[in-house]
A and B are shown apart, each in its own frame.
Chain A
Amino acid sequence: MKRLLEVDNLHFSFKTYGGEVKAVRGVTFYVDEGEVLGIVGESGCGKSVTAQCIMRLNPEPPGYFKQGSIKYKGTEITSLSKREIKKIRGSEIGMIFQDPMTSLNPTMKIGKQIEESVMNNMSVSRSEAKTRAVEMLKLVGISDAEKRYTQYPHEFSGGMKQRAMIAIAMACNPSLLIADEPTTSLDVTIEAQILDLMKELQLKFNTSIIMITHDLGVIASLCHRIIVMYGGMVVEQGDLHEIFYNPKHPYTWGLLKSVPTLNMDKKEQLIPIDGTPPDLFSPPIGCPFAARCEYAMEICYEQLPPEYEITVKHSTMCWLQHPNAPEVIWQETNEGAL
């Protein structure tokens, strides 16, 4: 299995009137060919910024790469020129966004929007591009594709719009698809359809997917591996089984515990995580999660924990893994529900 994407110690900040916003503070992960990586975290943890870094979609300025590297198929992304990154966008890496209502150009026909990507990235004729566009619409499950090709976004329903987005992103058969909360604004039933579609396409074309979401259910149904982000950092990463059945970071515990389950008692209260994510203008010195962590220790407030390897495919950034730290056992209250 070839390594498709390697992110190493990525630091990305924004220069603003109030100072530097440290959006990404040392993120390391990788994506192999054909696998689906999930990125979980609350709003503001840096997951979208990280994803957009891969395609250099963050506005630079005011954004800038402070440190670290991103290697895609061996090429260093952070040092590419504008022209070079445009060659990669669309043809090698595709992206779909959260809100399909606003992510499509309202004054351009859907078919043309797909065609645009094809014509730009593949050297084909107009008619070949049109054929490909209609093909893509069929592929993503839009019936009556020939007719839909000539329609405008406002004539599509929400779910169909998201399918169209997928068609646009996959039109040139990219090796990597980045999905930034693609189902957050959709109904649950539509969400299921979209996830099924993505699974289908992933298997068919062996596309790697980075799935960004805050919904653990989505993660469970699609992803092979997961990274958990908090405060601009990766606090835990591992494969699906490890994360759900043997999580080691208190934040991950909090996330898993806060999901309501079907076999909960009616009178049971939901268990949220108290507090709010840290201010990235002046992030805390120690572990970003310390203030909200039940198990926090003195050292947690003073120093950033190093990354500890639990198994070959599972690591976490937490002082609880230090030999001197007390042992905390994760109770499995959600067995089988997810």
Chain B
Amino acid sequence: MESTYVDVDKNKFNHVGKNKDKMEVISRPSLNYWQDGWRRLKKNRIAFIGLIIIAIYIILAVFGPKMVSYDYTTTDASSTNLGISSKHWFGTDKLGRDMWVRVWMGARVSLTIGFTAAVINAFIGVLIGGISGYYSGIIDMLIMRIIDVLYGIPYIIVAILVMMVLGSGMKALIIAMVIVGWIGMARFIRGEVLRLKEQDFVLAAKLLGVSEFKIIYRHMIPNVIGLIITTLTMAVPGYIFSEAFLSYIGLGIQPPDCSWGSLAKIGAQTFRLYPYQLFIPAFFVCTTMLALNLLGDGLRDALDPKLRGQEK
């Protein structure tokens, strides 16, 4: 404890008082939710790489087949089972079809199925879950009972049966995946809506006289939309996997049409001799799922409002 005299110029003791500028400290720039989310996502390099990979695959899916002169159905008995070469960038399969074209045609199918199924399921799920959670009461009880019962039904089993009834093809696959796939999302959204409804900021809005529509639109939706996008992104790998699985066991896409799953199936038959025929489509399935998982993880961290300002 110093009690010694500190020499200070007399002028320094002139009265200054409070300083309005330095009083309130805001140390971070104010960004809206999306700007902040995008900024945080960019910082997460791994997730960003995932995003780039998906983008590249989508571009290749659109333009890839046009980059070579072959068509995905043309067979060529003289060029069967050729390895990777400058003429056939991914080699050929057992019927002499060019693998590069087939992989990217397959990409179109697999990616479309994956994303479409995810989006449709998200849509249905949000609708049903949202209504159920928001309106509560009898509607909620009814919907929840139905969901409880349906939830126990194994998804793949139903998908297999539906596929058998509907035959093969992209539409059939999407329908099969959508019939029971929305349940998970509905449950999740309902849970979130219920949670949000109890939050004080909703109560505050109500007390201020904000209309119900505005409450849903400006308070609840922005809080769930981040979660919806994240869940959607993380669901896509599941659908891509399901498509691969169903095609692999013989349902789903039939030759000469191709999807990554059906290519894997064909490749599996000959893979001991020609492993590339399995591993090339397998590689793309895996990297796509990987990229989507990483992106989903990153999105979840970037779009979680509770984590704002807490980056590592």
Chain A residues proximal to chain B, CB less than 8 Å: 17, 28, 274-279, 281, 284, 290-303, 306-309, 315, 319, 322-326
Contacts and interface: CB of A to CB of B under 8 A. Distances in A.
Given A296-B19, A297-B15, A298-B14, A322 B27 contact: no
Given A293-B17, A294-B18, A299 B24 contact: no
Contacts of B213: none
Interface in B207-243: none
Contacts of A308: 2-3
Majority secondary structure, B binding face? loop
Nearest to B12: A299
Nearest to B3: A309
Given A276-B25, A284-B22, A322 B17 contact: no
- A-B complex: 6 closest residue pairs judged by Cβ atoms: A275-B23, A299-B12, A291-B22, A291-B19, A306-B2, A279-B25
A297 B14 contact: yes
B1 A298 contact: no
Contacts of B8: 299, 303, 319, 322, 324
A17 B44 CA distance: 14
Contacts of B18: 274-275, 291-294, 296
A294 B17 contact: yes
Contact of B1 (A274, A284, A307): A307
A324 B10 contact: yes
Given A275-B24, A281-B27, A290-B19, A17 B13 contact: no
Nearest to A281: B27
B23 A291 contact: yes
B24 to A, nearest CB: 5
Interface residues of B, number: 25
Nearest to B27: A279
Contacts of A299: 8, 12-13
Nearest to A28: B1
B24 A276 contact: yes
A275 B15 CA distance: 19
Contact of A298 (B11, B22, B24, B311): B11
A308 B6 CA distance: 11
Contacts of A279: 25, 27
Nearest to A278: B25
A298 B12 contact: yes
B31 interface: no
Contacts of B195: none
Given A294-B17, A295-B15, A296-B18, A306 B23 contact: no
Contacts of B2: 306-308
Contacts of A303: 8
A9 to B, nearest CB: 11
B310 to A, nearest CB: 10
B24 A322 contact: no
A309 B1 contact: yes
B308 to A, nearest CB: 14
A143 B31 CA distance: 53
A249 B6 CA distance: 18
Given A275-B24, A276-B24, A325 B311 contact: no
A204 B92 CA distance: 88
A76 B227 CA distance: 49
Interface in B1-50: 1-6, 8, 10-19, 21-25, 27
Given A307-B2, A308-B3, A323-B5, A301 B23 contact: no
B9 to A, nearest CB: 8
Nearest to A310: B3
A322 B11 CA distance: 13
Given A275-B23, A308-B2, A309-B3, 15 more contacts: A17-B312, A28-B1, A275-B18, A276-B25, A290-B19, A296-B19, A297-B12, A298-B13, A299-B12, A301-B19, A307-B2, A308-B3, A309-B1, A325-B13, A326-B13
A294 B17 CA distance: 5
A298 B16 contact: yes
